[in-house]
Amino acid sequence: MRFLIKAFMVLAVCLALVGCGKKAGIEGKIVDGKDKPMSGVKLIANQAQPIKGYEHFETKSGSDGTFKFKGVFPSSEYVIEPWSDEWKSVAKVKVQSGPEGQTSMLEKPFMVRYTLSKAGVLADSKTGLQWAPSTGQPMNHYQAEGYVRSLSLDGGGWRLPAIAELKQIHPGHPMLNATSGNWVWSSELCNASGSPGARYFVFDLGVDDCSYRDSSGAPRVLAVRSQK
């Protein structure tokens, strides 16, 4: 009789926990913008529709960038994202956990291309470029050149970007504070329609378009430098 009572109590606790014994797994690999493994990175998985006891998991990537979440709720949607004391990222991926007793695999490596440091520098691991977020303040070209030269953020060394560099961040990374429709200055000069006199290129991050503008225009400014 005592055995039956204990068995009943265990069963009741399991039912109260909504799925006692129901466990699955998620596996994947985290890489940078050049598809190189990111080792020792902390990853968190949050359940899209939280179930008590299954809503939050943490793990770390191995030397080869692989990671595994164990004990997640079966056949449930989770959002995985990296976490660090030194930087933050907007990168995240949604994944369905495996059926009960099984592990699901990410269809492709989880790429973390951009990271924003505590100093406020956005590093692009694919191109090796670092970006200083826009102040949002319109400037003419002379002001823009003076601004980037005097920018002391994280040791300085900033400059105006070339058109090819601006195209690398199309359509505008949210951490750069440059949204669709924002024209930003380029360092490049050109002659408009063959007419004499140099004009500067400006680039629209929102529609991947460039145009001519003389130095009196007032687009915004993004500063760039090669990665230290």
Instruction: Report the alpha-carbon distance of residue 94 to residue 81 in Å, rounded.
Output: 9
223: buried, middle or exposed (CB in 10 Å: 19+, 13-18, 0-12)?
A: buried
Domains of the chain with bracketed CATH: 21-112 (2.60.40.10), 116-226 (3.10.100.10)
Q: How far apart are CA 157 and CA 27, in angstroms?
A: 40
The pLDDT tens digits of the residues spanning 119-170 come to 999 999 999 999 998 877 888 888 889 999 999 999 999 999 888 888 787 5
Query: pLDDT of 9-26, one tens digit each?
Result: 444 444 444 445 679 999
Neighbours of 152 (CB within 10 A): 8
